[in-house]
Every structure is written in structure tokens, then in C-alpha cells.
């Protein structure tokens, strides 16, 4: 491919920026006649009454975007790079032929509740189709924030479970001797209704807007200039739901549900690092979810993109260094994180139950998690948990015992021994000298 010439201009950089500020509005203000948001009534019972979430600047109609931010979550920057490098026409409109959801989830009452769902768009999977006339008549670009498909999971652990007799091949859930598992899955980008999110955290909407504006170094000026625009698409990762069995059964309280809510850990989940229990617990969750589906119920694993307790992988590795150079005892486990990040955890599970309510879950028969924060958030949102299931002790890596003991002493659920503060000093991980 022939390289494209680098853009050059005879004008100075100051002149180019001066013209840029004239061509592109750097911010818009309340009652700005140039930006009239397309009507959006969060909590309306029907899609047409609610209106679409519009987070694109494309279009020349009277009505404009009604959401702060942009589509595609944290990937919107790559979209911008594609446009800037002339590989993508900024006015390109997607062709969604045959891209519609692989499963039709029935609309539920909680989809129109301002209390139950505040961090995802309940109609996000239908946007290009149910709002097609709205998009055309108002000349706005409307994109989905949820997509639904089907797939097979191929995991080495599942093949081992089949060989060991812990999973049986039924041709429907576990489809073959290789342990391939059939799933329905949903990808969800976050869509925040700011008044609802603020209420969840017990703060005012203006406090939330100001913090978001300041911590992003003013990246989203409309957070403080457009109080009439109540929806924000944050530049963060979303979540994926993996459903084992009939997706319609997940909302049926008469069907037993086994559920794991899992926060991402690339080092363990993907590459098998043994410093934590993340991949073992994830594999255990998938196995138990599949077994529940085979027993006439339904299983689900919900995977959130919250790397390193939402502190990020760079901070995570810095904490690893501090732990391994400082003796790595369970007693110091949380302290090392707090020293670097200022807090021990920023996953903030207050918004996590939204996807459960969207799916129609009212009861969890087997919660495959030891987290007290996840348990509290789910129960306080009105969902009943019948049984809590900790990770089997024989699945805990030797170097991951530090993590488990520290969490149990801090309040994580266990059916085994309750760790005391004194005992934490005796749980020690490897030093760097042991890492060959």
C-alpha cells in the first residue's frame, strides 16, 4: 500500500489552532441555540417514548447529541486515530444488516426504572433498528451500546473436567469430548444516567459532574456546561455476560441460577499468573454455571473490565513489586495497595447489579463468589442470594494464598477457617529471589 503524505500547512501552528477553535465548538452551554439535544426521557416505558441515546456529532439536523462523551467506550480514541490517519471517513454510517441480536430478550419492567438501571442503556441492543425512523427524520447517528451473539468456549480446564467426569457431554451445553461449551453472550458498553449514578453513591449530581470533569483534566466540558444533558458515556471498559442454558430461564425464579460476577485480571485470566486466584475461580465459575444449566437450571458469568481492582495494570504491577520486595505477607497485602493508590479497591460495586436487573434476575441460588462487596451490592439492590460458594481450597495457587487469607480476614466469605490478624503474619508469598 502506498503511504499517504503527511499533512503539511504553510500556516503556523498558532494560526491552525486559531482556525480550529472557530471550526469546532470547544464546548456548548445550557440553552445554546446551536446544540438542541434530541429529546431523551430516561425511565420511559417504551423505546419511542424514551428516545435514543445519541453520542455522535454526525448530522446536520435541528437536533444534536443528547449524551456527553462518545460511543465505543475506551475504544473511541482508536476511532479518532482511524479518522485522523484518513483510514476512516468520519461521516461513515454503519450497515447493520444481519447484525441484530442473536436472542430476543423480553422487555422487563425494570428497564424503565430510574432506580434499578442507571449505568447501561436498557434499549442499547435495539438502537439501530427501533430508532431507525428517528435517526433518519432527525439526521442523527444512532449506534448500539449492547450486542448479543452466540459462541462456543474452548478452554483447557473444561476438557480436563470432562476427562475427570466433573462435566458430562450432553451435546447441548457441553457439546463434545474436547469440553467445548455453548454460550449466549452480551457485550455491554456503559451508559450513565448521571442523576441515578450520583444517587447510588450518595452524592449530588454536581459533585459527580465536577469530579468527572476535574479527574479527566477537563476532557468533557459539557459535564459542567450542559446540566440539561443527563447521560454520559464514560471512557471505560464495559462488561460481557456469558449465559449457559436457555437465556430466557435467567429471569425465571423457578429455574436455579448459578452466577459468578468476575472482575478482569489479564495476568491470571489470560496468561495464567499464579499470584492470585482469578483464573482458577473463573474456571470454577464456568464449570458450575455449565453444570447448573445441564441440571435444568441456568448459569451465568458476568465479566467486568476492571483490571487491577479498577486501579489499572500499571498500578497493579507496582503493587506486585512493593509486595515481593517487602516480604509479601497477607498482613501487608492491602497496605501495599493503599500506599501506592491511596485506596485498596476502586471497583465500586454499586453499579454492578444493573446488568442483573436488566437480565431480570430476582434470585441467585448459588453465588460463586467470596466478595463481601459484591454480595452486599446485590442483596441491597433487592436480589436474594440463597447460597454462597467459595473457591475450593485445592484450586488456590500456593502464591495466591496471601490474597485469599488477606481477603477472608477483611470480610470475604468462607466456609472454612476464619483467619485472625495474627495468623496473617504467617501467610507469606514468594520473594523475587524465588522467581526464576
Q: Which are the catalytic amino acids?
A: 345, 347
In 271-414, which ranges are E strands?
298-304, 363-367, 384-388
362 and 253 Cβ atoms separated by less than 8 Å:
yes
Give bridge partners of residue 151 from the DSSP assignment.
183
Q: How far apart are CA 319 and CA 187, in angstroms?
A: 30
Q: Which residues 6+ apart lie within 8 Å of 322 measured at CB?
A: 336, 339, 340
Total residues belonging to the chain:
436
Q: How far apart are CA 433 and CA 436, in angstroms?
A: 7
Give how far Cα 398 sits from Cα of 17, 264, 300, 342, Å: 57, 21, 28, 28
Q: Return the exposure string of 350-365: e unless at least 16 CB atoms fall within 10 Å of the residue's CB, then b.
A: bbbbbbbbbbbbeebb
Q: Cα 316–320–325 angle (5° rounding)?
A: 150
Output the CA torsion sign for 155, 158, 164, 165. Answer: negative
- Which residue do the cell numbers 436480589 mark? 383
Give bridge partners of residue 240 from the DSSP assignment.
187, 303
Backbone Cα Rg of the chain: 24
Q: Where are the alpha helices (DSSP H) in 24-170?
A: 47-50, 76-84, 127-130, 132-138, 156-164
173 and 294 Cβ atoms separated by less than 8 Å:
yes
Instruction: Count Cβ atoms below 10 Å from residue 46 Cβ, excluding itself.
Output: 11
Amino acid at each position: 500500500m502506498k503511504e499517504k503524505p503527511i499533512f503539511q500547512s504553510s500556516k503556523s501552528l498558532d494560526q491552525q489552532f486559531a482556525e480550529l477553535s472557530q471550526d469546532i465548538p470547544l464546548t456548548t452551554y445550557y440553552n445554546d441555540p446551536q446544540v438542541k439535544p434530541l429529546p431523551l426521557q430516561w425511565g420511559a416505558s417504551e423505546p419511542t417514548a424514551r428516545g435514543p441515546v445519541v453520542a455522535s456529532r454526525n448530522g446536520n439536523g435541528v437536533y444534536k447529541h443528547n449524551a456527553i462523551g462518545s460511543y465505543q467506550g475506551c475504544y473511541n480514541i482508536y476511532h479518532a486515530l482511524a479518522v485522523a490517519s484518513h483510514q476512516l471517513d468520519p461521516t461513515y454510517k454503519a450497515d447493520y444488516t444481519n447484525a441484530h441480536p442473536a436472542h430476543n430478550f423480553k422487555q422487563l419492567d425494570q428497564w424503565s426504572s430510574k432506580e434499578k438501571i442507571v449505568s447501561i442503556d436498557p434499549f442499547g441492543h435495539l438502537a439501530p433498528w427501533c430508532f431507525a425512523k428517528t435517526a433518519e427524520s432527525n439526521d442523527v447517528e444512532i449506534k448500539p451500546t449492547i450486542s448479543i451473539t452466540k459462541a462456543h468456549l474452548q478452554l483447557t480446564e473444561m476438557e480436563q473436567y470432562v476427562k475427570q467426569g466433573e462435566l458430562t457431554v450432553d451435546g447441548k451445553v457441553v457439546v463434545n469430548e474436547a469440553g467445548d461449551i455453548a454460550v449466549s453472550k452480551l457485550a455491554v458498553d456503559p451508559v450513565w444516567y448521571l442523576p441515578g449514578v450520583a444517587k447510588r453513591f450518595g452524592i449530588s449530581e454536581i459533585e459527580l459532574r465536577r469530579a468527572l470533569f476535574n479527574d479527566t483534566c477537563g476532557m468533557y466540558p459539557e459535564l459542567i456546561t450542559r446540566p440539561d444533558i443527563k447521560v454520559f458515556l464514560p471512557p471505560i471498559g464495559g462488561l460481557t455476560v456469558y449465559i449457559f442454558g436457555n437465556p430466557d430461564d435467567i429471569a425465571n425464579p423457578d429455574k436455579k441460577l448459578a452466577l459468578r460476577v468476575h472482575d478482569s485480571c489479564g495476568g491470571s485470566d489470560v496468561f495464567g499468573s499464579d499470584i492470585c486466584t482469578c483464573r482458577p475461580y473463573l474456571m470454577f465459575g464456568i464449570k458450575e454455571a455449565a453444570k447448573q444449566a445441564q441440571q435444568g437450571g441456568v448459569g451465568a458469568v458476568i465479566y467486568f473490565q476492571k483490571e487491577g481492582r479498577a486501579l489499572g495494570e500499571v498500578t497493579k504491577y507496582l503493587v506486585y513489586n512493593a509486595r515481593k520486595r517487602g516480604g509479601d505477607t497477607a498482613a501487608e497485602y492491602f497496605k501495599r495497595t493503599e500506599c501506592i493508590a491511596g485506596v485498596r479497591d476502586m471497583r465500586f460495586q454499586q453499579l454492578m447489579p444493573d446488568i442483573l436487573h436488566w437480565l431480570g434476575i430476582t434470585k441467585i441460588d448459588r453465588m460463586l463468589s467470596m466478595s463481601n462487596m459484591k454480595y452486599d451490592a446485590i442483596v441491597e439492590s433487592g436480589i436474594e442470594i440463597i447460597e454462597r460458594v467459595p473457591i475450593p481450597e485445592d484450586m488456590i495457587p500456593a502464591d495466591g494464598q496471601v490474597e485469599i487469607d488477606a481477603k477472608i480476614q477483611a470480610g470475604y466469605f468462607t466456609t472454612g477457617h476464619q483467619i485472625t490478624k495474627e495468623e496473617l503474619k504467617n501467610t507469606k508469598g514468594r520473594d523475587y529471589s524465588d522467581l526464576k
